[in-house]
Amino acid sequence: MTSKPETHPTIIYTSLPLDPNPRDYVILQSRPPTRHHYNRRVFQTLSLILLLSLSIYLLFPSDPHIQLVRLQLNHIRVNTSPHLLLDLSLSVTLKVHNPDFFSLNYDDLDVSISYRGRQLGFVKSDGGKVRMRGSSYVDATLDVNGFEILHDIFYLIEDVAAGKIPFDTVSHIEGELGLLFFKFPIQAKVSCEVDVNPKDQTITHQNCYPQVNKTFTLIS
């Protein structure tokens, strides 16, 4: 028996058609970032953080500052008949400083005076406006006429004999800062310890210190 020769499949090759509109091809190859690019990104990130921090510092509201720049004793008298009565008059000048970049509006400024923790009287001044980063001066006169001393009568007698009557004054301001369509209520307070000599009608000692209050409420 004669075997037939093996047949192999025929493969036909056709030529690729020529592109009638030849195009230019660009091969992109990524390169690892250089140290110069890294330093540039770090600089941009730090600049953005610094700019953001500066914006928050400038725009975030803060309380105004109150400073007692003048305290004058007009008169003080202690009357013993028919009761132990106290007459006192003080004139104060307060400096209100607005550290923010927005104007400050305040309704009034209160000044109170106390003797050994007991309030003797207070006075209210009119409201006003302090421009951004500006200051304003407020004058007030605090008068106490015929205040009867009952609870601290023995202390007052001793203080008069020693020639030194201690008083506490508290100056308090409330207002609001306008920021676009929002308003931020703010307040500030300064306390002073004052020693008065009733014999020569002078102030022998005074010590003032601010009371910080950092609570904000947003009002739309």
Do 107 and 167 belong together in one domain?
yes
Predicted pLDDT at 218: 41
Predicted pLDDT at 9: 57
112/90 Cα distance (integer angstroms): 11
At 136 the three-state DSSP class reads strand
Do 37 and 109 belong together in one domain?
no
Say if strands 118-125 and 104-115 run parallel, antiparallel, or are unpaired: antiparallel
pLDDT beyond 80 at 5: no
Residue 178: give its domain's CATH number: 2.60.40
Do 98 and 171 belong together in one domain?
yes
CB 66 within 8 A of CB 171: yes
Residue partners of 154: CB distance under 8 A and separation at least 6 = none
Do 97 and 177 belong together in one domain?
yes
Residue 137, in any domain of the structure: yes
What's the pLDDT tens digit per position in 48-68?
777 666 655 556 677 888 999
Residue 4, in any domain of the structure: no
Do 105 and 49 belong together in one domain?
no
Do 42 and 69 belong together in one domain?
no
Residue 72, in any domain of the structure: yes
Do 88 and 160 belong together in one domain?
yes
Q: How many domains does the chain have?
A: 2
Do 56 and 71 belong together in one domain?
no
Return the higher-pLDDT residue of 57 and 92: 92
Range with the lowest mean pLDDT among 53-57, 111-115, 121-125?
53-57
For the chain, what is the mean pLDDT?
79
220/217 Cα distance (integer angstroms): 10
- State both tokens at 106: 């305040």
Local confidence band at 174 (pLDDT 50, 70, 90 cut-offs)? confident
Residue that is last in its domain, among 22, 41, 60? 60
Predicted pLDDT at 196: 95
CB 66 within 8 A of CB 95: yes
Sequence-ordered alpha helix ranges (H) in the chain = 35-59, 153-162
Local confidence band at 207 (pLDDT 50, 70, 90 cut-offs)? very high
Local confidence band at 175 (pLDDT 50, 70, 90 cut-offs)? confident
**Closest among 203, 136, 195 to 165, alpha carbons compared:** 195
**Parent domain of 183:** 65-211
Return the higher-pLDDT residue of 142 and 45: 142
